[in-house]
Amino acid sequence: MLFRFSLYGFLKNQRYFEPFLFLAFLEKGLDFTEIGLLIAVRELTTSLLEIPSGAVADIYGRRLSMIFSFVAYIVAFAAFGFATEPGLLYLGMVLYGVGEAFRSGTHKAMIFAWLRSAGREGERVRVYGYTRSWSKYGSAVSVLIAAGIVLFSDSYEWIFLAAIIPYAINVVNFMGYPATLDETGGRPASLAEVMRHAGRTLSESVRRPRLRRLFLESMGFDGVFAATRDYLQPVLAALALSLTATALVAGDWSATQRTALLVGAVYFVLHLLSGAASRRSHRVSAAAGGEERATRWLWGGAAAAFGGLALAGWTGALTGSVLAFVALHVLHNVWRPLLVSRFDAQGGAVQGASLLSIESQARRGATMVVAPLLGYAVDAAVVAGSVSPWWPAGVLGLACSLLFLARGGRPDAGNG
């Protein structure tokens, strides 16, 4: 099963548009505020469906949930690729949100179900970190393919359509998962049971201080990171334009092709580093003396990286901004296995997908609020004539990181 789990992650990250998403939307005539609104629509759709979809996965079966998710993704990619007006982009984002809702938390719950069946619960961080590393290696391969597509076509349109192929292959992969990973417990598959199951999980999540703490941390780290990470793309585009005299981008290359070369190189290295970080997250936990102390280390690292991003953005140091973004991606890939393991330790076997779906909803809710506001702030910085208008992303992340550090990593400290 480790092979199938790793294959899922590798294929899932063949999102050839991902390192060029902001640039593709800018090419379609959107500004950063409109891009932020598109992201908010995606997050809102996912949030509305997050808890029900997790309950459906636990009740009706996780494999069926994953197949439905990837079909929604495939239709969304087609909408992005053929979109010539904002309306189709919004439809694509809604379908993308549907895919995210039915996927998020579900596959992690299947991994942990397999570990429980094998009596290997103590290996949660190591095994999830291992499978997540293959996701990152998939991203590294993906960005090389994406850069090649953009170089050949001199356009961002085909990177959406090309992603349909690996997603269709992953549907076939899910069909080979054993039924035991569904962990439905033989309960009646009724709508009332789905709603009761979701309600019980949500109620328990609100009542338990340790779970509240984990939700807040997810919102603060993952939610803000999701809203800020893709600003690396316009930073790289600006850097590519500043390097037109170098041998790398000299000649007859268009601005789009020059950007593709630099984005491909940087994201390839970024994803390799992220994969290595994810695979070694359990070592960070061991070195820190436990997952809780390791979490505090990561909040300190995030504060330093976001602070560097704010400073580099304010001074116009594009290379410094790129390095700060790379550092944030690496930190995030140490963070996720630790956070997911902490959630699984607090939840039960049957409610695993629902609990992780609530976590996903919480962090997406934070992104839904932050993304349009950050887009507006960046547009305002552009209008104000900032040398490098990406500094608001660093300021936002620094403020959030310092808040958690000031409370010992626990915004609800004292509540249990």
The predicted pLDDT at position 350 comes to: 46
The predicted pLDDT at position 285 comes to: 83
**What's the predicted TM-score (pTM) here?**
0.75
The predicted pLDDT at position 188 comes to: 46
Q: Is the distance from CB of 87 to CB of 401 less than 8 angstroms?
A: no
What count of Cα atoms within 13 Å lies in the side-chain half-sphere of residue 77?
25
Question: 178 in helix, strand or coil?
Answer: coil
The predicted pLDDT at position 198 comes to: 63
The predicted pLDDT at position 302 comes to: 93
The predicted pLDDT at position 120 comes to: 73
Q: For the chain, first and last CA: distance in Å?
A: 38
Closest CA to 395 of 301, 298, 297, 313: 313
Per-10-residue mean pLDDT for the chain, 416 residues long?
85 91 88 90 85 71 85 94 88 92 78 76 73 81 91 87 94 84 57 63 68 83 90 88 58 76 87 81 82 87 94 89 92 86 66 66 84 90 81 92 76 42
2-180+191-406: CATH topology:
Growth Hormone; Chain: A; (1.20.1250)
The predicted pLDDT at position 171 comes to: 92
Closest CA to 342 of 328, 361, 355, 327: 355
Helix axes 124-153, 2-12, angle to 10 degrees: 30
